[in-house]
Structure 1
Amino acid sequence: MTLDEYKKQFSEDDAVGWLSIDKEFDTLYPNQEPKHFAPAISYMLGGENPLDGVSIYESKKQTDHYHFITYGFSELYYDETKLESEFSKWGFELTFRLKPFEADNGNPSWVIALLQNIAKYVFDSGNWFEEFHYMPANGPIRLDTETDITALIIVADPEIEKIQTPHGEVTFLQIVGITTAEFDHLKENPETAQDLVNKLKENNPLLITDLTRK
């Protein structure tokens, strides 16, 4: 896209990158208005949460589950200087799929905090994620919960392909909850990350996180 095309298609009030993300999810979930969560004070205005928002869609594929998408790891807003970059900011957004958990009462807001904490790590450290990276959650991924899911592995979202936005490439990376035993095995055998993902996919192709999984 040339600068002239960019100026013709968008105005300075447009969230160019945000619109690119929404286009993908509107295709996946036509006619669905997601729940959206945004921090009271945006990061650029001094807020402590780097993500400008997280949306939650309800999916009925494989089994009923929530599908989260972040806004903030990529370049969201009109910026002529970012046009035709190789990667849009960090080059990815995170997704997460959660099987409904009874204690959430239909409001899994803890996931928003989890995603914001991951964003703080990325923004503060300068370390970004790629497929098959993994990390501990330093306890249950849902705080104060009896669950074996205490770590995360990164995969490509099974349903959302990487896209080219006016600001560069964006990959949709899905975080997947794994057990303490699985994480301990990965620490000892890091080369088996893809094997673990393939094994999980056998019974769970969309890699939906289930806090009750042992």
Structure 2
Amino acid sequence: MSDDQNLNEDFDEMEAPGWDAIEAALENLYGDQVPKHYGTVIPYNLGGPDPLNGISAYVVKEPLPHWHFVTYGFSELYEKETSDPNYSGYGFELTFRLAKSAAEEEPPAWALNLLQNMGRYIFSSGNVFRSGDYMDANGPICLGADTKLTALAFITDPQLPEMDTPNGKVEFLQMIGITLDELEAMQVWNTFGVLSAASEHLPLYLTDLTRDSLLKLPSVSTAVQQGSETEGSNTAFLFVDQLAWEPASDSPAEQPGPTLQLGAKQAEIVGKLLRGRITKGRNLSLVSSGIRVVFEPGERAEIAESENEIILRLDQQTVSELTPRFRPAAGTFAVPSLNGISFRIVRTNIKDSEGNIVHTIG
């Protein structure tokens, strides 16, 4: 018998109270339906390539035919290992509902890969998701597909409530494929508001690669516009890849004042967020590796610098002058009320999974 076989048998014989709790919740929902299950041969912590221990896919007929994927591995499936007694592992498992064609007998492999890739991202970065979060995929959620769904939103699965397990609480967090303009709507307003406005057209928050943007529906676009104008944005911080800050130079040959740099891809949404945050008396933080830029509402425009944080206080006049200038076009500009500070927008290169540039913005 090989070492791998020994490992697998030992692994299979372990008690799995967390796994059993997930299966019990799904049995309560689906009865005796036997799902398609895709397990890992060698566990991730023993050198296997896939971070999730398994993914189950159930066939659902109502309200529309779809696959319902559920992960095993973000929570503690076996013995308790983390120090937090209240939550099991990361405190959630991911689910995903994908439209199913009548001809499909097996769930699409890309959906399984997407869930495993989410595991790789979360396990490697430590960044976790909660209901109401969103994520830009920087391309189709199904690689190579002709789809407008290029981002993901997260919300509590509508049919699987949070549960208690011997290892702590576990929430079932459902991923939803969304379009770029739906993502921006969630950023300038909030995820729950946008999904609520679109709920009639997203039964069980189903992902359908063939659908168009829901913002083309007057009822949804009107609700988003009214909500963002009335309530402002719930986005308190934004990770910005090309964020940079250059302090003022003593050299007369160089730009004398400080310069804030943004990438063209995110410039426009930053302008929208500033309107939705500062005008409602809320801060907005832009974060990148080693730097944090905080925009704060103030009675007058001013700047405060420290080693790793820059604070820009903006009054209403400055917001009015500044936000229309944030556009997805490379260039440098200044605004009168922020005397001496320049803003630089640089081109953004969108790359595929192999690092090849497939699109340039700006």
TM-score range, shorter chain: 0.7 to 0.9
Cα deviation digits, residues 70-103 of structure 1 (max 9, x gap): 0000000134x66981100100000000002589
Contact 2:36 2:58 in 1 (8 A): yes
Residue 52 (1) aligns with residue 53 (2): yes
Contact 1:101 1:211 in 2 (8 A): no
Q: What's the offset of the Cα at 1:203? A: 2.4
Q: What's the offset of the Cα at 1:50? A: 1.2
Contact 2:57 2:107 in 1 (8 A): no
Contact 1:83 1:168 in 2 (8 A): no
- Seen in structure 2, the aligned counterparts of structure 1 residues 78 and 121 have a Cα distance that, compared at 3 Å, is same
| Structure 1 gap segments, 5+ residues each | 1-11
Q: What's the offset of the Cα at 1:106? A: 4.1
Cα deviation digits, residues 17-57 of structure 1 (max 9, x gap): 00000000011111100001122321021113210000000
Deviates more, 1:192-201 or 1:133-142: 192-201
**For the pair shown, which has the larger CA radius of gyration, 1 or 2?**
2
Give the RMSD, CA atoms, in angstroms.
2.0
Name the SS for the 2:205 alignment partner: coil
Q: What's the offset of the Cα at 1:184? A: 3.0
- Seen in structure 2, the aligned counterparts of structure 1 residues 61 and 102 have a Cα distance that, compared at 3 Å, is closer
- Seen in structure 2, the aligned counterparts of structure 1 residues 97 and 144 have a Cα distance that, compared at 3 Å, is same
Residue 195 (1) aligns with residue 196 (2): no
Contact 2:151 2:177 in 1 (8 A): yes
Larger % of strand: which?
2
Distance in 1 of aligned mates of 2:165 and 2:84? 8
Distance in 2 of aligned mates of 1:63 and 1:193? 23
Distance in 1 of aligned mates of 2:141 and 2:158? 22
| Structure 2 gap segments, 5+ residues each | 1-12, 213-362
The aligned residue for residue 9 of structure 1 is none
The 5 Å alignment of 1:64-213 reads 64-79=65-80, 85-100=85-100, 106-187=106-187, 189=188, 191-213=189-211
- Seen in structure 2, the aligned counterparts of structure 1 residues 174 and 199 have a Cα distance that, compared at 3 Å, is same
Contact 1:149 1:177 in 2 (8 A): yes
Q: What residue identity is the alignment partner of 2:53?
A: D
Distance in 2 of aligned mates of 1:139 and 1:104? 25
Name the SS for the 1:93 alignment partner: strand
Identity %: 44
Contact 2:16 2:79 in 1 (8 A): yes
Deviates more, 1:200-209 or 1:147-156: 200-209
Distance in 2 of aligned mates of 1:141 and 1:169? 29
Cα deviation digits, residues 146-195 of structure 1 (max 9, x gap): 000111000000000100101000000000000122123334x1x32111
Q: What residue identity is the alignment partner of 2:167?
A: H
Distance in 1 of aligned mates of 2:150 and 2:106? 21
Q: What residue identity is the alignment partner of 1:55?
A: S
Q: What residue identity is the alignment partner of 2:114?
A: L
Name the SS for the 1:139 alignment partner: coil
Residue 17 (1) aligns with residue 27 (2): no
Number of residues of Structure 1 aligned to a counterpart in Structure 2: 200
Q: What residue identity is the alignment partner of 2:34?
A: E
